Structure 1
Amino acid sequence: MAAPAAAMHAKSDSEVTSFDQSTPPRSPRRPLYYVQSPSNHDVEKMSYGSSPIGSPHHHNYYHCSPIHHSRESSTSRFSASLKNPRTVSAWKKIQPGQESDEDDDDQNSFVSRDKGRNVRLYFCFALLFVVLFTLFSVILWGASKSYKPEVIVEHIVIRRFDIQAGNDRTGVPTDMLSLNSTVRILYRNPATFFGVHVTSTPLELHYYQLKVASGEMKKFHQRRQSHRKVVTVVLGHQIPLYGGISVVGGAKDNIENVVIPLKLTFKMRSRAYILGKLVKSKFYTKVQCSVMLKGSKLGKPLKMTNSCTYK
Structure 2
Amino acid sequence: MAGTMHAKSDSEVTSLDASSPPRSPRRPLYYVQSPSQHDVEKMSYYGSSPFASPPHPYHCSPIHHSRESSTSRLSASLKNPAAWKRLHRRHPRAGDDDSDDDDNDSRGSGGHAMRFYAACFVLAFVVLFTIFSLILWAASAPYKPKIFVTSMVFHSFNLQAGIDQTGVPTDMLSLNSTVRIFYRNPATFFGVHVTSTPFELFYYQLRLASGQMKKFYVTRKSGHAVVTVVSGSQVPLYGGVPLLSAARDHLKSISVPLNLTLEIRSRAYVLGKLVKPKFYRRIMCGVTLKGNHLGKHLHLTDSCVYS
Is residue 251 of structure 1 aligned with residue 244 of structure 2? no
Superposed, which structure 2 residues align to 1:1-311 within 5 Å? 94-96=87-89, 101-311=97-307
Structure 1 Cα separation of the partners of residues 202 and 160 of structure 2: 19
Structure 2 Cα separation of the partners of residues 286 and 243 of structure 1: 30
Rate the CA distance shift 1:108–1:247 in 2: closer, same or farther, 3 A. Answer: same
RMSD between aligned alpha carbons? 2.8
Q: Give, in angstroms, the shift of residue 127 of structure 1.
A: 1.2
The unaligned stretches of length 5 or more in structure 2 are: 1-26, 35-66, 75-83
Structure 2 Cα separation of the partners of residues 107 and 93 of structure 1: 22
Q: Give, in angstroms, the shift of residue 110 of structure 1.
A: 1.7
Instruction: Work out the percentage of aligned pairs sharing the same amino acid.
Output: 55
Match of 1:72 in 2: none
User: Which structure is larger by alpha-carbon Rg, 1 or 2?
Assistant: 1
Query: Are the equivalent residues in 2 in contact too, given 1:92–1:98 (CA < 8 A)?
Result: no
Q: Give, in angstroms, the shift of residue 106 of structure 1.
A: 2.7
Q: Give, in angstroms, the shift of residue 36 of structure 1.
A: 7.6
SS in 2 for 1:275: coil
Deviations 1:243-270 (CA, angstroms, capped at 9, x unpaired) = 0111112211221101000000011110
Structure 1 Cα separation of the partners of residues 304 and 195 of structure 2: 19
Q: Give, in angstroms, the shift of residue 104 of structure 1.
A: 3.8
The unaligned stretches of length 5 or more in structure 1 are: 1-30, 39-74, 83-90
SS in 1 for 2:230: strand
**Aligned letter for 1:303?**
H
Runs of 4 or more consecutive aligned structure 1 residues displaced over 6 Å after TM superposition: 31-38
Structure 1 Cα separation of the partners of residues 32 and 294 of structure 2: 134
Q: TM-score, normalised by structure 2?
A: 0.71
Q: Give, in angstroms, the shift of residue 117 of structure 1.
A: 0.6
Q: TM-score, normalised by structure 1?
A: 0.70
